[in-house]
Structure 1
């Protein structure tokens, strides 16, 4: 491969994100695995791995990385920090025409920046090859159980962001000894859901089939995993077809109503298309048999699949109450009849060291062989939103989004 200098940029977004694309050890591994690669680290006061941890392994750490060929970050780069004529990799959050990042994409085009978006790095089957989703699920499930315990006065757990790492957090949830025989529903089957299931399994909670969850009673806490086919059906009564559901979600309706009378804690981890049905309605929360009292909306789609998610929350203030009688939000744990919800929109940031290690592994294994190749690669091209001051062909639909 050709000689390439890769710069790890300082995260500049507010509030600051402590995650990094590559940990110190992953930097060394990448340089060993890819001859010709040199990694430079930009100084940062907020990174979960300190500047000294990089220096201790012989990596160069300095204030300016403008001479690097490729710049890697995590979150959106502040406009004033964009360096013209560079290649960047980060989560731009522009592909859905998010209003908050319209000017970011405009500036990227004006500054002749090549933008490769992590979210769009996929294999030939369209599956993402690098993501923080597993850690969103892990922290989301932990936060859901923390919220449930606080709401009912059962136990008090240290917030995930105060834990040093996953092992420290695991010591916390091993303290949970007083869970009543509740039923927990986890929606989804992707990385996020798998992360949530990992926590429930490590806690020793019993997993049951969807049928048994619906129709049997237990004297211990149990959980089930719900896939799309478990809580949706075609409007015309035709047989379930998963690929068709993903292509034409508007042709389906929710059957989640059957889970409302038997579920205490909902952990929502399923990707949601705006054309797809919501899990339930606000009117459903006023049903006499609506049993859900705690929700961990890990997907955190405001006004999305969970209709009570009227806003996102922060790591420091992770929960709010939804009052079914008024439809209004209230302070968390305000009154017993409210639904208490956790809707943090940057959950992996609560365990930044673990999340960063995992992300770096995916970068080295799944992305660098293509990114650092001497020849053009379909995987990189599919994820390249801008090049040469223009939107690439695949992203021409964003033209009206960035038009003056």
Structure 2
């Protein structure tokens, strides 16, 4: 069935907020208009969806068919894992299955695929000639993730009894564009700078542990807030200053900024031999020579820990 030239696009069913698509209307247009001789695609059937970022009509406009029935499709594409009843016998599927690490909640999905003798192309396992993943989290994952985290932070602090400017921020899927989401974060930042944050949750420290695409995206959103960068070695000093305030000062003081701290692997582990300094190459080659210190030197001072 894989080579029959008919491609299907699933209607996402795992997450209520899932608006992403494996192929945009412009992608479909290129595949269809190049002709089957070049792309191998003769037809594209799209399951209808009222929450997808691209409306069904946009797919129809470029020549796709809208139908719940994907039984004619040899290859069926999605973003997240579909419901079990969506797995048809002998078809090929491509999506993030979350099964290769034996994630317990998705084992029934893998069992269903095996039982139906279907093929699974897991995006997470597609690699290039040098073994590097071709499909992975990118900058936008960090952008969206940080927006969602700030949104959730507002909810958490409210449950703890603190009203914060984060309460006005929506989840990332609620915004029509990245620019609109950034404008909302900037508005939160302006409120922090003028009204402040309650001292009971401060100093509010965001710790970033990664240096890849996701971390860069997350920090791009964080940098829209009024902030000061703190070296990992100065975290105890930052909290010491807060403790040194008198009780009356702590009750009235408000913080008009947040703090950011970037940590690397040398802030997370140290050599078992106190006489030896951290060596990244040696750590990667012989992790057994090192012991963790993150839980003692970084985590106690972190309000938020991200990649």
Q: TM-score, normalised by structure 1?
A: 0.56
RMSD between aligned residues: 3.3
Equivalent in the alignment of 1:27:
28
SS state at 1:72 partner: strand
Equivalent in the alignment of 2:291:
253
- C-alpha distance in 2, partners of 1:149/1:78? 32
Q: CA deviation at 1:166?
A: 1.9
- C-alpha distance in 2, partners of 1:206/1:106? 50
CA contact (8 A) 1:213 1:223 kept: no
1:227 matched to 2:243? The reply is no
Larger Rg: 2
Deviations 1:30-57 (A, max 9, x none): 4457543343322234423221221233
Counterpart pick for 2:216 among 191, 194, 197: 194
1:267 matched to 2:305? The reply is yes
- C-alpha distance in 2, partners of 1:99/1:70? 26
1:154 matched to 2:164? The reply is yes
Q: CA deviation at 1:93?
A: 1.2
Residues 144 and 249 of structure 1: CA distance in aligned 2, closer, same or farther (over 3 Å): farther
Deviations 1:365-404 (A, max 9, x none): xxxxxxxxxxxxxxxxxxxxxxxxxxxxxxxxxxxxxxxx
Equivalenced residue count is: 267
Query: RCO higher in 1 or 2 (8 Å CA, sep ≥ 6)?
Result: 1
CA contact (8 A) 2:206 2:306 kept: no
Equivalent in the alignment of 1:109:
114
Residues 76 and 154 of structure 1: CA distance in aligned 2, closer, same or farther (over 3 Å): closer
- C-alpha distance in 1, partners of 2:225/2:139? 17
Which runs of 5 or more residues in structure 1 are unaligned?
270-404
1:88 matched to 2:93? The reply is yes
SS state at 1:37 partner: coil
Q: CA deviation at 1:249?
A: 5.2
Which runs of 5 or more residues in structure 2 are unaligned?
197-202, 242-254
Equivalent in the alignment of 1:173:
185
Q: CA deviation at 1:82?
A: 0.7
- C-alpha distance in 1, partners of 2:64/2:231? 50
Equivalent in the alignment of 2:245:
none
Higher helix share: 2
1:37 matched to 2:76? The reply is no
Q: TM-score, normalised by structure 2?
A: 0.72
CA contact (8 A) 1:141 1:267 kept: no
Deviations 1:272-320 (A, max 9, x none): xxxxxxxxxxxxxxxxxxxxxxxxxxxxxxxxxxxxxxxxxxxxxxxxx
Q: CA deviation at 1:89?
A: 0.6
